[in-house]
Amino acid sequence: MPGDGRPPARRSARQWTPSLSDFFTSRALDNPLLWHRSQQWVVTFRGAALSHSRPRRTSPQGASDEHRHHPRDRCPRRRLQRTDRHGSAGPLHPQAEHPHHAGEPLAPLRRAPAHAPARRGPGTDRLPDPGPARRHRCAVPPGRRHRHHTADRLVTLDDGAALSYDTLVYALGSATDTSTVPGAAEHARTLDDPRLAHHFSQRLPEIAARGGTVTVCGGGLTGIEAAAEIAEAHPGLTVALISSAEPGSMMGEKARAYLNRALDRLGVVRTVGVKVTKVLPDAVRLDTGELVASDLILWTTGVRVSPLAAQAGIATDAKGLVITDPTLRSVSHPEIHAIGDAALVRQAWGQIHGTCQSGVVTADYTAAVIARLLRGTTVRPFRFGYFHQPVSLGRKDAVIQFTNADDTPKRWYLQGMAAVIYKEQVSSTPPVAAELSRYVKLPVQLSKGGRATRATA
């Protein structure tokens, strides 16, 4: 049965695509893209476990809950293992693919009972260090504040627990920067946290009922999508979009013209070529001195990264991005791999900027690099090129601008329902692809940049 800890049965070609109900089973929830806040994650690598809250427990019952080790778990790539609130975990094998146990038969695995009580106290938040040869590859659980000690190769969490590592993946991402404009942090909302976004959306019907105004600060793709979605869902609202540059300025002329027609149809009021100098509880002040009254303010402009890397002595640029070599390893600490928005990644055509396109690809590449380094095989330099700029304009309209490797627009673009279908496929593919990748290797990169990145290789 799904969710009982056993490997799923082999599927025929007709049963290859998982059903919707599969994503609510415990097996599907092993997928990090389907994270839920009620779950706690344990990072496993080669059968060794790191838990941020509880150690792995074993069942005293014995044969009644034995599970044989599945060949998929012997893969030297890291995978995520879910634990429930009682601390019980799925099958983890301490022998899997470890050089000290090469060729040895695998012992039976035991699953912890669901009723096992959680133990807390000194020493329970950290597994014993088995020595340099078997120290864990480390990833920090989401939502935990932490400090990084590069000299000792330790990550210290906010509750005092310490995680040792030989190889670290630095993937702290970025957040909306509300520190550059006075009042933005106090009076504007962001989309950094799903709970904050939910609270923001709950206020919209009330404001729409009295014909209020919502102001979106920032004319990038996030600001455009937010303004269009709000205007379509709540026609009674006045939606104002404030931007220092023309919305969609990164797109080609035809795609940008279509975008502006869609915003006109939705009634989005644009104020272009100005900057916000101060955010007040009920208005924003522009550099022209004008006050734009607003019942709710959404801030979507500017990003910042965590100062943790710079504080730990890792080489960073002026913005705090980890400077990486062609294989996405820190130039000052090669045992640290940086991915996503937190990494400064350069290609022959220029520097990568943070998007989901580059985030997913750098993560997949780094997982493969770590596996190759463990096997002692050759690692090729990272190559990446942008492919498209998909923008939703509400739920029933969209525009897709196809791009060159350096994110400059090509002639080709999609609009209307064709773009809606395209965008929906792009947004819904990662969870399904992650599930299917358990059975077959699937590419996650649309473009390596072609000629534009050959100099990188």
pLDDT of 291 strictly over 50 = yes
Burial of 365 (0-12, 13-18, 19+ CB in 10 A): buried
Share of the chain above pLDDT 90, in %: 54
Q: Counting every residue, how long is the chain?
A: 457
Question: Residue 138 gets which letter from DSSP?
Answer: B
Mean pLDDT, residues 442-450: 83
Q: Residue 297: CB partners within 8 Å, gap ≥ 6?
A: 187, 188, 189, 214, 215, 217, 279, 284
Q: Is the dihedral of CA 161, 52, 306, 230 positive or negative?
A: negative
Three-class secondary structure of residue 447 per DSSP:
coil
pLDDT of 128 strictly over 80 = no
What is the predicted pLDDT for the residue at 426? 87
185-220 pLDDT, tens digit each: 999 999 998 898 899 999 999 999 999 999 999 999
What is the predicted pLDDT for the residue at 357? 87
| Residues 276 and 258: beta-carbon distance below 8 Å | no
pLDDT of 390 strictly over 50 = yes
Taking the C-alpha atoms of residue 341 and residue 393, their distance in angstroms, rounded to an integer, is 25
Q: Residue 326: CB partners within 8 Å, gap ≥ 6?
A: 381, 382, 456
Q: Where is average pLDDT lowest: 27-41, 358-372, 443-457?
A: 27-41
| Residue from 425, 401, 426, 398 nearest 413 by CA | 401
Mean pLDDT, residues 50-74: 40
* CA-based radius of gyration for the chain: 24
**Phi, psi (degrees; rounded to nearest 5) at 80:** -105, 140
258-290 pLDDT, tens digit each: 999 999 999 999 999 999 999 999 999 999 999
pTM over 0.85: no
Taking the C-alpha atoms of residue 8 and residue 115, their distance in angstroms, rounded to an integer, is 24
What is the predicted pLDDT for the residue at 6? 53
**Phi, psi (degrees; rounded to nearest 5) at 132:** -55, -35
| Confidence label for 147 from pLDDT (cuts 50, 70 and 90) | low
Mean pLDDT, residues 381-407: 94
CA dihedral 336, 339, 341, 344 (to 10 degrees): 70
| Residue from 333, 403, 155 nearest 343 by CA | 333
| Confidence label for 139 from pLDDT (cuts 50, 70 and 90) | low
What is the predicted pLDDT for the residue at 385? 93
What is the predicted pLDDT for the residue at 332? 95
Q: Where is average pLDDT lowest: 65-69, 227-231, 411-415?
A: 65-69
Other C-beta atoms lying within 10 Å of the C-beta of residue 421: 12
Mean of all residue pLDDT scores within the chain? 75
